[in-house]
Amino acid sequence: MNLQQLCLDTVTIARNAGLYIRNEQKLFKQSEIETKGMHDFVTYVDKSSEQYIIEHLSKLLPESTFLAEESASISESSDVMWIIDPLDGTTNFIHGLPLYSVSIALYHANKIVLGVIYEPNTDECFYAWKGGGAWLNNNRITVSKTVSISDSLLATGFPYYDYQHLDAFMEFLKFTVLQTRGLRRLGSAALDMAWVACGRFEGFYEYGLRPWDIAAGACIVKEAGGIVTDFNNTSEFLFGKEVIASNGFIHDQLCNEIQDYFFRGKTMKLK
């Protein structure tokens, strides 16, 4: 399996899907939204872009299976599996906001070996393959060298269906307000992780996520020199519905703080 060539071919597929999405946004109507659940939406654009991606990835690896947000659902034990989010940031898309992405990862022998994230409005394509480093539009990228949370800019995503940790989440927001340079919420977990990989953010955390939200980003962050774990600082993040991605330097501290708030009931007293 030539991962480099597979990655470059996947970049082309992601770019084509992204350009289709961007063009459709100009024509999109609010009446064309379908609701999967509270705060969880899907459009014909999600579905048609996913169909395009699956069709073309199938030609690259005919033996592969798919785990995709809008259609396919298969076993986690598949040996060669594409993990796809055809439009990460659907809410941004339907409201005309310019931050959303196409996210594609390849999962082989229980490891993520390839990741591609494309944001069509900025024409930024982040990609990586195992052992090949991380890239942004043909330029090598690495995580930031910031060593303290107090000097860090973090990213997160708000819970939209799983509210079991909402109180802890809100308490941790207080911590980020008081103890970091700030917190951003883009609305696309894939882009949050890509921006950690290129050094724009020092760290990203979120719970209630699906594999297609984070698989590609995890590969890119790792190849850029960062670390990706679950909240317990283990590697069980892909199917565990929670993730911390960081530049590595702040990772242990970020994990410890999140564990304090989410698992030990710590609260932040406002000064």
If you write DSSP's letter for every residue of 210-261 in order, what string do you get? -HHHHHHHHHHHHHTT-EEE-TTSSSTTTTTTEEEEE-STTHHHHHHHHHHH
pLDDT in tens, 236-248: 999 999 999 999 9
Is residue 242 within 8 A of residue 256, CB to CB? The reply is: no
Q: What is the pLDDT of residue 270?
A: 61
The pLDDT assigned to 38 comes to 42
Q: Is the pLDDT of residue 28 over 70?
A: no
Quote the CA–CA distance of 48 and 11 in Å, as a whole number: 18
- pLDDT higher than 80, residue 75: no
Instruction: Return the H-helix or E-strand segment holding 18.
Output: helix 3-25
User: Is the separation of the CB atoms in 226 and 133 below 8 Å?
Assistant: no
Q: For 40-74, write each residue's pLDDT tens digit.
A: 446 788 889 999 999 999 999 998 999 997 775 55
Q: Are 150 and 179 in contact (CB under 8 A)?
A: yes
Which pTM was predicted?
0.92
Q: Which domains does the chain have, with CATH numbers?
A: 3-141 (3.30.540.10), 149-263 (3.40.190.80)
Per-residue pLDDT at 41: 47
95: Cβ contacts below 8 Å, ≥ 6 apart? none
For residue 37, the model assigns a pLDDT of 45
